[in-house]
Structure 1
Amino acid sequence: MTVIQKLKVVLSGVLVSALVLSLAACSSGKNDGASPSPDASREPAKIVELKALTMGTEPASGMDNFYKQLDELTKKDLGAIVRFTFIPWGDEKNQISRAIVAKEYDLYAGGFWSDYKNFATKNAFADLKPSLSKTPKLVEHYKGILDRITLDGKLYGIPQYGKPGGGNWGFFYREDLRKQWGLPEVKDLESVEKYLYKAKEEFPDTPMISDKGFILNVFRMLAGDKYLDPTGTMTTMAPVNDPYKVASIYDIPEYQQALRIAKKWYDDGIVARDILAGQANETSKTLELMKANKKPLEFTNHFGAVSSGYINQLKAVNKDWEFGWLDYTVDLAPDTAFLPKHSVETTTMISIGAHSKNVETALKFIEKAHTDRAYYDLLQYGVKDEHYKLDGESITFEGIDPKNKKPGWTGLNDGYMNRVEKYPGEWQAIYDRLQTEGAKLGEKNGIDPYEGFVFDTKDITAEMANIETIRTQYAIPLAVGVIKKSIEDDLDTMNQQLKGAGMEKYMAALQKALDDFAATKQK
């Protein structure tokens, strides 16, 4: 090859190289001749969306900021966004059931109040146990409790995390009216009844009781410390001093006495005439009546629900209204106030649908909710200065429009993450008393005898369905005071129907389960 030929080859190579670099620069939109990085051609990571169901009414405003703040957290930590659907209290059991069947959500709230256990046994929810290795902070946070709430060895939900202290179910009433009416201090069934009748006299157009389950609290007031509820359904009872010997509640003398009181109250107009047509949960309607000064009480509600959902709204209407609380457990049955029980039978859960394509991501979201302060405050309280305010490290809702108070994510409530809450007026002292007394009683009485007990009902599902049908047809009307012949005749008819439905088989299965459980505790 001549010198001229070699020079042509070299020049040709230089020109080709220059052309390649020029094309590369044009294709990258740059003119610095740099090669594109290996990541430049990759698509951005896909953000998944988790759909969650929660109870309560969505705040009137502030949700745009809520999702903005939540997205900033979840996109960075989980590669996900989460969107909530709020279901108002009232027809929650049916609405949640429909949502589960329709497979609408990734995350479900539920418990004894929503048929959680029934759906869990039918594998409607994902078993979270195999994924717990991906959420070590969550496991550590619960200190072994997650092992106690399994069904057939499977973990179908993450429970609310109870902390000793606080109230239970109770009687909520206007204390200022009690003083004005000259009534005795509310402290037992007799004084509650006097308040009910005076309230009916003063508010003649409003029934004082519209909740179909009110008889269970009449029973609680009559029975006091005598009985415990093994299944959390208030259909079977066991003596406090013999907690593994069970009986049907319909055979217990105090329940039969409660039936007579229910009939009297129904006949006297204390109980709504159309109570059987009402929703299973009438709390939302009652709150509106109380805000309108058309009703001075609620016979059946939970202390936590009243504290978080009622007090600030009612005080916003009239700051001079005073309220009182009679706790059916702490005040009337202190020997049944144990350390918080975490059980599939009684505890509210957050579950992940078995159909979800993002089970691990959803579980990691739950982990963050229980262990990260930014997540917990946002999910439980909402946006600071829009849904709540901070007074030091304590939370307060003073100055917040009640319509803008965000309900906490149902099932998230965590006693070890909750901020100390400041309440208006006299409610602070009531709250502090129940926190202190509840904690003392829990430490004194110790672990609930049924902690860890799971009643496996897969072999009696037909009987349970039949029993529920009979309860709807016979037990509920009887319990609200709607009597066909007489209490004795109606009760006998119901018991005969229950026997035909398989009540004896159900009771035998429950007794065997309790016997087996008691045997394990003695080892």
Structure 2
Amino acid sequence: MKNIQVKVSLILSSVLMSGMLLAACTNNGTISSINTSETLQSAAGSKEQEVSLKFYFAGDRKAATDEVWSAVSNHVKSKGLNVKFDINFIPLGDFKEKMLVMAAAGDTWDMNFDGSWLSYNLMAAKDAYMGLNELLPKYAPNLYKKYQDQGTLAAATVQGQIVGLPWTMRMNQRQFALWRSDMTEIANINPAPNSIKTIEDVDHLLYQIKQAYPNEKIVRVGSRVIYQLRDEWVDLGFHKLGFYLNDPKVTIKPVEQQPFYKEAAAMTKKWYDDGIINRDAMIDKEDGAIQWRNGKSLIGWSSHEWVKANQGFADPSYKIQSSLLYPDKKYVNRTALANVVAINKNSRNPDRVLRFLDMLETDQTLYDLVQYGIEGKTYEIKNEGAEYPEGMKNTTSNYMEWGGQWALWKPQFMRPDPSYDKDFWTKEAEFASQPNNINSPLDGLFIIEDKIKNLLAKRDQAVTEFDRPIEYGNIKSLDAVDSYIEKQKANGLDEIIEEVQKQVDVFLAAKK
């Protein structure tokens, strides 16, 4: 491992080899754990020097951030970890590009938030993150054991090295239809519970709502995601390529050539032409969740998490009803890499980052500080739940629900909060464990783009120019689909597929 300096005395080796000391449950919220921090400090025989850990998270800085993390520092120091924190935020829209630029420049920091939907795959492929095979079990044994129990480290392993620390949540994002039942009840539209299961059911409900509310915005999303669920298609998350779950060979294909693609294009065009899908949906940059909360749409498709969470409606009279779409179809669970933290390969203090993360795995008091902040200032506890102080809400919060916290969520410590009720995440994990919710055979795959990056740039440009209008129904005729298919073929699609399939086959062979 490069540039790793661990300042402990030689006696530490014998302590570690003979087994970590076990700490019993205490009355301050710390659960039984392998007490790495106290072991390391007592073995060293003297107090370690203070160091500053530089962290990057995605989102906007909250007003009380520095005050909270000063309290975090005081708490971990009381437990034997002598660190302070330099907490930095990068706006979510700039996060991916900024992280890649920082890594290319050789910048030094200690830990950052990331995810498969952000820069993680590229950062890992470009060797921006430190390999943790030796360090993780040594300095974060409790976290390491959790990963072993969950079997999630394989997804975060690149060329034999663990380069990311996944969140420990279990989730599945298969789609539900979700609609404003306060509005449908007024219009005497009353679908039986769980009766909206197919694209045909959704289509019928949409037209009922449109007839009842001709001047309202009905929906801002197209139908493609429903067809993909119907046909058990898995989006690879890589330039609009994917595969079918019923294909044991995992043959990579372009989405635009699949039969459901044209079916979805036809359905969504019909919705667009009939004024059901919002005319500005393709260019509307306002957050869809905010529009939903403010009553600017009446129906949509969403995951189990957001169907079951508190919707946060602007008007408390709003109500919802939902129905699971295609419940008999298989659907892949959300990757363990959806939210991760990673250690920069240039970090000077990876051991202390890992010790901090290990404490977070076992210490409720520390978890409350990191996630919710300072009781009475940034949150209040009511019936064991974390709530905003009086007069505060999400948009005016001084700390709670800060951006980038997701990779540090610990289901064993999560309190009910304004969004999630008691036992919410237990139920989320139970849903993800249902038989038709399965792990992707390609979870943890990193595709190296170097040989095809120019072709991918052309493909992405065509996606923006042609695929997006098709997705939102803003096309003159379905001939646009055929034209788009030919456009992508001319952009070197066969070469892209050949290279991606080669890497997929190597990945699958290595798993056998």
Q: 2:161 is paired with a residue of what secondary structure? A: coil
Please point out which of 234, 257, 260 is paired with 1:254: 260
- Structure-1 residue corresponding to 2:412: 417
Q: How does 1:58-97 map to 2 (within 5 A)?
A: 63=65, 66-76=68-78, 77-86=80-89, 93=96
Is the 8 Å Cα contact of residues 294 and 315 (structure 2) preserved in structure 1? no
Structure 2 length normalisation: TM-score? 0.73
Q: CA deviation at 1:363?
A: 3.5
Q: 2:130 is paired with a residue of what secondary structure? A: coil
- Structure-1 residue corresponding to 2:9: none
- Structure-1 residue corresponding to 2:144: 139
Q: 1:237 is paired with a residue of what secondary structure? A: strand
What is the identity, as a one-letter code, of the residue corresponding to 2:434?
Answer: K
Q: 2:473 is paired with a residue of what secondary structure? A: coil
Deviation string for 1:260-295 (max 9, x for gaps)?
A: 12222333344444444444xx43xx3444444444
Please point out which of 500, 513, 516 is paired with 2:490: 500
Q: How does 1:4-83 map to 2 (within 5 A)?
A: 45-55=49-59, 63=65, 66-76=68-78, 77-83=80-86
Is the 8 Å Cα contact of residues 111 and 348 (structure 1) preserved in structure 2? yes
Q: CA deviation at 1:72?
A: 1.2
CA distance in 1, matches of 2:292, 2:444: 39
Whether 1:463 aligns to 2:468 is no
CA distance in 2, matches of 1:377, 1:43: 26
- Structure-2 residue corresponding to 1:148: 155
- Structure-2 residue corresponding to 1:187: 196
- Structure-2 residue corresponding to 1:332: 326
What count of residue pairs does the alignment treat as equivalent?
452
Is the 8 Å Cα contact of residues 352 and 359 (structure 1) preserved in structure 2? yes
Q: CA deviation at 1:112?
A: 2.9
Deviation string for 1:349-377 (max 9, x for gaps)?
A: 22233444434333333333334323333
Q: How does 1:145-184 map to 2 (within 5 A)?
A: 145-163=152-170, 168-184=174-190
Whether 1:115 aligns to 2:119 is yes
Of 188-197 and 138-147, deviating more is 188-197
Of 149-158 and 452-461, deviating more is 452-461
- Structure-1 residue corresponding to 2:464: 472
Is the 8 Å Cα contact of residues 227 and 237 (structure 1) preserved in structure 2? no
Is the 8 Å Cα contact of residues 106 and 352 (structure 1) preserved in structure 2? yes
Against the structure 1 CA distance between its residues 394 and 233, is the aligned structure 2 distance closer, same or farther, given a 3 Å change threshold?
Answer: farther
Against the structure 1 CA distance between its residues 190 and 97, is the aligned structure 2 distance closer, same or farther, given a 3 Å change threshold?
Answer: farther
Against the structure 1 CA distance between its residues 268 and 399, is the aligned structure 2 distance closer, same or farther, given a 3 Å change threshold?
Answer: farther
Whether 1:319 aligns to 2:316 is yes
Deviation string for 1:237-281 (max 9, x for gaps)?
A: 3333224233221111111111112222333344444444444xx
- Structure-2 residue corresponding to 1:220: 225
CA distance in 2, matches of 1:326, 1:415: 29
Deviation string for 1:177-212 (max 9, x for gaps)?
A: 222222243724344445545369748365731xxx
CA distance in 1, matches of 2:94, 2:278: 18
Please point out which of 392, 417, 430 is paired with 1:401: 392
Is the 8 Å Cα contact of residues 337 and 438 (structure 1) preserved in structure 2? no
Q: CA deviation at 1:504?
A: 0.8
CA distance in 2, matches of 1:366, 1:506: 39
Please point out which of 471, 481, 486 is paired with 1:491: 481
Whether 1:361 aligns to 2:344 is no
Of 152-161 and 382-391, deviating more is 382-391
Q: 1:124 is paired with a residue of what secondary structure? A: coil
CA distance in 1, matches of 2:422, 2:47: 54
Deviation string for 1:47-73 (max 9, x for gaps)?
A: 414232133x555x6546523421212
Is the 8 Å Cα contact of residues 50 and 106 (structure 1) preserved in structure 2? yes
Against the structure 1 CA distance between its residues 378 and 431, is the aligned structure 2 distance closer, same or farther, given a 3 Å change threshold?
Answer: closer
Q: 1:82 is paired with a residue of what secondary structure? A: strand
CA distance in 2, matches of 1:94, 1:276: 23
Q: CA deviation at 1:78?
A: 3.4
CA distance in 2, matches of 1:424, 1:51: 26
Q: CA deviation at 1:464?
A: 2.5
Is the 8 Å Cα contact of residues 172 and 333 (structure 2) preserved in structure 1? no
Is the 8 Å Cα contact of residues 369 and 412 (structure 1) preserved in structure 2? no
Q: 1:51 is paired with a residue of what secondary structure? A: strand
Against the structure 1 CA distance between its residues 501 and 372, is the aligned structure 2 distance closer, same or farther, given a 3 Å change threshold?
Answer: farther
Of 432-441 and 69-78, deviating more is 432-441
Whether 1:235 aligns to 2:226 is no
Is the 8 Å Cα contact of residues 113 and 340 (structure 2) preserved in structure 1? yes
CA distance in 2, matches of 1:111, 1:424: 22
Give ranges in structure 2 of 5+ residues lacking alignment. Answer: 1-45
Structure 1 length normalisation: TM-score? 0.71
Q: CA deviation at 1:98?
A: 6.0
What is the identity, as a one-letter code, of the residue corresponding to 2:68?
Answer: F
CA distance in 1, matches of 2:206, 2:379: 35
Is the 8 Å Cα contact of residues 168 and 304 (structure 1) preserved in structure 2? no
- Structure-2 residue corresponding to 1:30: none
Deviation string for 1:141-164 (max 9, x for gaps)?
A: 21152233222233332112233x
Percentage of matched positions with identical amino acids:
20
CA distance in 1, matches of 2:505, 2:142: 36
CA distance in 2, matches of 1:433, 1:179: 28
Is the 8 Å Cα contact of residues 338 and 441 (structure 1) preserved in structure 2? no
Against the structure 1 CA distance between its residues 475 and 406, is the aligned structure 2 distance closer, same or farther, given a 3 Å change threshold?
Answer: same
Against the structure 1 CA distance between its residues 84 and 413, is the aligned structure 2 distance closer, same or farther, given a 3 Å change threshold?
Answer: same
